[in-house]
Amino acid sequence: MRTGPSTNGSRTTALRTVILGVAASDAHAVANHLIARTLRDRGYHVVNLGVNTSVAEFVEACAEHPDAEAVIIGSLNGHAHEDLRELPAIRAAGLITCPVILGGNLSVGSHKSPRDLERLFTLGVDVVLEDAAELPGTLDRLRSSASQLSSTRAS
């Protein structure tokens, strides 16, 4: 298991950190394991909180890993909105400041309406993905927008 920065002789190479977990009521583990594995293989430090992770546990992980580039939340049982109901207050309090990415099967039933997505964005989710394969590209895009924003602020 790779859980810390990689070391190379006396030098330590900082890895890109992400916080990963499955929403509070959700016990589907397979995609979570595959995502953790894929991101670790790509060199990420993945703090994987696993299944049944509450919003409070994501907050604790963010406090422990202030360098995290994103919080990545999976949900398959259809109860993402209910599981993330505390997110607006948490975001308003500044307890999760990095982007929140949500993915999986995000509402009950096979028909997904634009309103289902809108409700998730209203909670403070930044990115909704259907396919876990979109994660690496999404993380790169978010990182590059964040660095453009900080260089604009610095100048």
- Out of 3, 9, 10, 30, the only residue in the binding site for ligand B12 (CB under 6 A) is 30
Site for ligand B12 in 38-77 (CB under 6 A): 72, 74, 76-77
Strands annotated E in 49-90: 70-75
**DSSP for residue 30:** H
CA-based torsion, 142, 129, 74, 34: positive or negative: negative
Is 131 an interacting residue with respect to ligand B12 (CB under 6 A)? yes
Strands annotated E in the chain: 6-8, 11-13, 17-22, 45-48, 70-75, 100-104, 127-129
Provide, rounded to whole angstroms, the least separation between the CB of residue 121 and ligand B12.
15
Is 91 an interacting residue with respect to ligand B12 (CB under 6 A)? no
Question: Torsion angle, CA of 83/59/44/41, rounded to 10 degrees?
Answer: -30
- Out of 27, 56, 89, 149, the only residue in the binding site for ligand B12 (CB under 6 A) is 27
Q: Which residue number places its CB atom closest to ligand B12?
A: 103
Is 104 an interacting residue with respect to ligand B12 (CB under 6 A)? yes
Binding footprint of ligand B12 on the chain (CB under 6 A) = 25-31, 34-35, 72, 74, 76-78, 103-105, 108-109, 129, 131-132, 135
